[in-house]
């Protein structure tokens, strides 16, 4: 890599432990290792002056809900940037579920030229990309095939392969975040006589360890998930993953039938391929 | 084919202008846009600096320096009645198909493909009674808030339009001031109806003034009416609340 990268996101791993932040951290570490990393900055701290000072860098833009409209405009006008998309920020309501076949009426589309002027818009799976492509019809939309995990995290999944404490219950994520649909999932389990327990932890490794003790994970969602990470995490642990297939993007990937060590190895290989692709896309 | 988008504004309209330019950036495919020309009739340096953050913006100098402007006051008239003339000026070096839109408009949906598919030399905006207060008496068949000069055959039309404006009476039978720009446009359309191809585009689609606009409206025109008389009220009207939050934050 020749040009240095500024990594832009609403939040980073040290500020929140969401899927996007965990995923982004793997990419940041990769840029650091390749000595391509300049710095990371929260979107709300970006000013037009900061942009003007750093036009010689490549901007790697992850979640940008807190990026000011003028910064979006100026980046579009002057900067070389890649958008690393974790959801659907081309839609004013940020969720295509409201529209038949996920085809969004033109009047609901926003940020059109921000996406158009990007070197690449990187989606996280084939289905995620298709939704972007069907709506924006741009030539710069590409995809990787999965979220990413660090080697440390993958080692954890390896260690937890044969947990002796298998509970004959399904886990349901206990979260106050309405997007996580805890209440709806409970109702779903009760209506379908699925034995379940609520699980939670603020520590990622602890959460995964807890999850490994269950027969499977019940996951309900109300938007087409670009991956989601927990689907692959359940698969890497070798436990069942039950959800609405039409809303789970990775369920449409070729590798989704894998589980346990085979899935871990596949995720590792996909990560290496994805990072090489990202590096190439940044420098094109 | 790429189009220029053309508008005129002074500092009094800066909030409108920010919403207008923001919505173009958000909604219209810039691949179909050559330049966005803003004829400056009295913008502040700060506003110009803001506008220049956006791609494809060109600020056109004029010899006008106006302030806002109550409807029909002298500065308002200078602005409104200079629009067509300033657009003509933008053709001096080379004719580029141009879409003239009032700066108190918000783009809610890309309309360039629709304009592109229309086979015409000019596309004026056809007045529609929808959204007007009961008893409103129309003084024109067309509205000057949206106009497309699609081919160079539009040039004599626009010249005629600008010459027609001062011929329109300034006062109605009740002594109240009446607009001149739109009646002049209507008269010019009549004069040119057999000379060039004219396609009337419905105001409800392209410069909608209704408080509850239909889904097919592509541009909202935040013109003053009996409910929204001041700029602040026009910008605060509910139908543009999302746009206001996004573009004027």
- For A115-131, how does the pLDDT look when each residue is reduced to its tens digit (9 = 90+)? 999 999 999 999 999 99
Strand extents, DSSP E, chain A:
5-9, 37-42, 58-61, 80-84, 120-123, 141-143, 167-173, 196-199, 214-218, 240-242
Which residue among A77, A107, A109 sits closest to B53, beta carbon to beta carbon? Answer: A77
**The pLDDT value given to residue B70:** 58
Residues 6+ apart with CB under 8 A from A142: A120, A121, A122, A123, A129, A277, A281
Q: What are the residues facing B125 on neighbouring strands?
A: B143, B201
Contact A69 B22 (CB under 8 A): yes
Tell me how far apart the alpha carbons of residues A185 and B142 are, in angstroms, rounded to a whole number.
57
Mean pLDDT value across residues B212-216: 95
- Provide the whole-model pTM: 0.92
Task: Annotate A213-229 with b (16+ C-beta within 10 A) or e (fewer).
Answer: bbbbbbbbbebbbbbbb
Instruction: Read off the pLDDT band of B173 (50, 70, 90).
Output: low
- Cβ within 8 Å, pair B55-A68: no
Q: What is the pLDDT of residue A165?
A: 63
Cβ contacts of B27 on chain A, cutoff 8 Å: 106-107, 109-110, 112
Determine which of A65-74, A140-149, A150-159, B223-232 has the lowest per-residue pLDDT on average: B223-232
Q: Please name the member of A74, A77, A110 whose beta carbon is closest to the beta carbon of B26.
A: A110
CB contact under 8 A, A117 and B30: yes
- The predicted pLDDT at position B31 comes to 96
Kindly state whether B48 is in contact with chain A, defined as any CB-CB distance less than 8 angstroms: no
Nearest CB neighbour to A48, from listed B26, B28, B53: B53
More confident position, B135 or B108: B108
- Please say if the pLDDT value at position B181 is more than 90: no
Q: What residues of chain A lie within 8 A of the CB of B239, using their CB? A: none
pLDDT for position B229: 82
Contact B55 A117 (CB under 8 A): yes
Contact B126, B207 (CB under 8 A): no
What pLDDT sits at residue B179? 73
Give percent of chain B with pLDDT exceeding 70: 90
Which chain A residues are Cβ-neighbours of B108 within 8 angstroms?
107
CA distances from A1 to A41, A57, A283 (A): 20, 12, 7
A88-109 pLDDT, tens digit each: 999 999 999 999 999 999 999 9
- Give the Cα separation of A95 and A247 in Å (integer): 12
Q: Residue B30 is nearest to which of A68, A70, A113, comparing CB atoms?
A: A113
For residue B22, list chain A residues with Cβ-Cβ distance below 8 A: 69, 73
- Take residue A103 and report the two structure tokens written for it: 């085809």
Q: Are B111 and B206 in contact (CB under 8 A)?
A: yes
Q: How far is CA B16 from CA B79, B102, B212, B237, in A?
A: 14, 9, 19, 12
The verdict on B110 touching A (C-beta cutoff 8 Å) is: yes
Residues B91-116: what's their mean pLDDT? Answer: 96
| Whether residue B140 has pLDDT greater than 90 | no
Across A151-176, average pLDDT: 90
A242-253 pLDDT, tens digit each:
999 999 999 999
Q: Does B31 touch chain A (CB under 8 A)?
A: yes
User: Confidence class of residue B177 from pLDDT cuts 50, 70 and 90?
Assistant: low
Residue of A nearest to B107 (CA): A107
Q: Residue A24: beta bridge partners?
A: none
Subunit contact A113:B215, Cβ cutoff 8 A: no
Residue B217: pLDDT above 90? yes
Chain B residues with beta carbon closer than 8 angstroms to that of A76: 25, 55
* pLDDT at res. A12: 97
For the cut 70, the answer to whether the pLDDT of residue B178 exceeds it is no
Look at B249 and A68 and tell me if their CB atoms are within 8 Å: yes
A69 to B29: CB separation less than 8 angstroms, yes or no: no
Q: Which pLDDT value is given to residue A14? A: 94
pLDDT tens digit string along B41-87? 999 999 999 999 999 999 999 988 877 655 556 666 666 678 899 99
> Å from B217 to nearest chain A CA?
9
| Structure confidence at residue A201 (pLDDT) | 94
Give B180's pLDDT tier (boundaries 50, 70, 90): confident
Cβ separation of A112 and B54 shorter than 8 Å? no
Q: Which residues of A touch B218 (CB under 8 A)?
A: 107
Which ranges constitute the DSSP H helices of chain B?
14-27, 45-51, 74-90, 112-117, 154-164, 181-192, 203-206, 231-235, 241-247
> In angstroms, how far is CA B127 from the centroid of its own chain?
13
Which of B17, B25, B218 is best to mutate for the A interface (most A CBs within 10 A)? B25
Dihedral (C-alpha) A36, A41, A47, A51: value to the nearest 10 degrees?
Answer: 10
The ipTM of this complex is: 0.90
């Amino acid at each position: 890599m020749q040009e240095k990268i500024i990594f832009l996101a609403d939040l980073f791993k040290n500020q929140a432990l969401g899927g996007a932040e965990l995923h982004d951290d793997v990419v940041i570490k990769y840029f650091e290792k390749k000595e391509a990393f300049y710095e990371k900055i929260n979107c709300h701290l970006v000013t037009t002056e900061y942009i003007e000072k750093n036009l010689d860098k490549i901007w790697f833009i992850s979640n940008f809900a807190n990026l000011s409209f003028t910064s979006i405009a100026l980046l579009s006008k002057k900067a070389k940037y890649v958008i690393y998309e974790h959801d659907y920020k081309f839609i004013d309501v940020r969720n295509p579920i409201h529209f038949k076949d996920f085809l969004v009426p033109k009047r609901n589309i926003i940020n059109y030229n921000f996406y158009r002027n990007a070197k690449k818009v990187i989606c996280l799976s084939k289905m995620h990309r298709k939704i972007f492509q069907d709506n924006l019809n741009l030539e710069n939309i590409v995809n990787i095939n999965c979220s990413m995990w660090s080697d440390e995290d993958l080692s954890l999944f390896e260690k937890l392969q044969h947990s002796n404490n298998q509970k004959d219950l399904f886990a349901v994520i206990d979260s106050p975040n309405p997007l996580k649909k805890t209440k709806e999932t409970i109702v779903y389990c009760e209506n379908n006589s699925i034995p379940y327990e609520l699980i939670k932890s603020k520590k990622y490794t602890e959460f995964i360890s807890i999850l490994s003790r269950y027969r499977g994970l019940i996951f309900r969602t109300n938007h087409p998930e670009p991956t989601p990470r927990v689907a692959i995490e359940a698969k890497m642990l070798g436990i069942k993953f039950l959800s609405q297939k039409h809303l789970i993007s990775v369920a449409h990937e070729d590798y989704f039938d894998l589980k346990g060590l085979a899935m871990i190895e596949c995720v590792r290989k996909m990560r290496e391929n994805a990072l090489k692709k990202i590096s190439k896309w940044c420098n094109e | 084919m790429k189009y220029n988008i053309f508008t005129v504004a002074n500092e009094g309209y800066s909030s409108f202008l920010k919403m207008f330019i923001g919505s173009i950036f958000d909604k219209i495919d810039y691949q179909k846009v050559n330049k966005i020309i803003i004829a400056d009739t009295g913008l502040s340096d700060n506003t110009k600096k803001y506008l220049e953050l956006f791609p494809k913006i060109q600020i056109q100098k004029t010899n006008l320096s106006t302030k806002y402007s109550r409807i029909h006051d002298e500065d308002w008239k200078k602005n409104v009645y200079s629009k067509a003339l300033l657009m003509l000026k933008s053709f001096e070096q080379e004719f580029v198909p141009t879409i003239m839109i009032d700066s108190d408009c918000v783009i809610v949906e890309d309309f360039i493909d629709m304009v592109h598919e229309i086979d015409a030399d000019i596309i004026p905006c056809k007045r529609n009674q929808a959204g007007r207060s009961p008893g409103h008496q129309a003084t024109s068949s067309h509205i000057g808030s949206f106009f497309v000069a699609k081919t160079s055959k539009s040039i004599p039309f626009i010249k005629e339009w600008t010459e027609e404006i001062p011929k329109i009476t300034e006062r109605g039978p009740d002594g109240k001031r009446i607009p001149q720009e739109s009646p002049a446009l209507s008269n010019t359309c009549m004069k040119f109806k057999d000379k060039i191809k004219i396609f009337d585009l419905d105001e409800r689609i392209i410069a909608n003034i209704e408080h509850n606009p239909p889904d097919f409206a592509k541009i909202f025109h935040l013109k003053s009416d009996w409910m929204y008389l001041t700029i602040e009220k026009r910008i605060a009207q509910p139908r543009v609340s999302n746009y206001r939050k996004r573009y004027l934050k």
